[in-house]
Amino acid sequence: MPTTFNRHKVIYRTWDFGYHAPVCLFAQIDSQGRLHLIRELVGRNQITHDFAERVIKLCEDWYPLHAAGYEDYCDPAGQQVKSLESDKNEKRDIEVLSGLGINANYEYGWSRKDGRTLVHRLLSMRADGTPGLRVDESTCPTLTQAFLGRYVFPETRDGRIKEEPDDDTHPWADVMASLRYLVIGLHRKLGLSRIQFNVTPAMLTPVDYHGYGSPTHYRD
């Protein structure tokens, strides 16, 4: 659904690094505490430095003189040294951002399942009848496609559902990873707490999503 940009509120940017499909998502939190995904940028065959420079330039065009500023989030793996052969980038990605004036936040100790659980909880209807997560399909087409079925939990040969989604489905897996880093970084601001998975199933509300609210298979 269309979302409204608020020039008085902070823009949250979240980064997923990678040469083949780098991603930056743009979001805001509204006055009701809902997370709005207002825009996406998905690169192709770009090193982190070039992609980040593009993001900076487009932010100047899209949000000129945005006084509320930006807060950035990324994968803790951005601290790791990437090989030049694999990612065309000999520096740690987070250092590349820092060199361009972008100080990205990250949190260690969260699994992919932790992040997906936060996304599922935001997708659930709140007491006011609205979900805690909204995506502007006109400005976030790749993320919308991922929610509608491009990013799924695949089946095994014997018909069982795998425990992890298919992270080889680029760029849809990349936008979902970026969203995961964002909700982990903002979970306190969104009023979410971390679920410990050693609790009994009866203590948790069942979630009927196969992926992030998407069907098991994508259909054209």
**What are the distances in angstroms from CA 26 to CA 139, 171, 182?**
10, 16, 10
Specify the DSSP class assigned to residue 210: S
d(CA 151, CA 169): 7
- Beta strand extents in the chain (DSSP E only): 11-16, 23-29, 35-42, 70-74, 104-105, 133-135
d(CA 187, CA 89): 31
Determine the angle formed by the axes of helices 112-123 and 172-186, rounding to 10 degrees: 80
Q: Tell me the pLDDT of the chain (220 aa) as tens digits.
A: 677 899 999 999 999 998 999 999 999 999 999 999 999 999 999 999 999 999 999 999 999 999 999 999 998 765 554 544 344 545 689 999 999 999 999 988 898 999 999 999 999 999 999 999 999 999 999 999 999 999 988 888 888 888 888 888 999 999 999 999 999 999 999 999 887 655 444 444 444 444 454 434 443 3
The pLDDT score that the predictor gives to residue 196 is 62
**What are the distances in angstroms from CA 185 to CA 104, 110, 121, 152, 193?**
10, 10, 15, 23, 11
Which of 53, 23, 28 is CA-nearest to residue 38?
Answer: 28
The pLDDT score that the predictor gives to residue 86 is 42
All domains of the chain in start order, with CATH: 11-203 (3.30.420.280)
CA 178: distance to chain centroid? 3
Which of 119, 114, 125 is CA-nearest to residue 195?
Answer: 114
Which of 181, 28, 42 is CA-nearest to residue 116?
Answer: 181
Residue with tokens 């991603």: 23
Q: Measured between alpha carbons, how far apart are the two ends of the chain, in Å?
A: 21
The pLDDT score that the predictor gives to residue 197 is 53
* Contact present, 24 and 38 (Cβ < 8 Å): no
CA 136: distance to chain centroid? 14
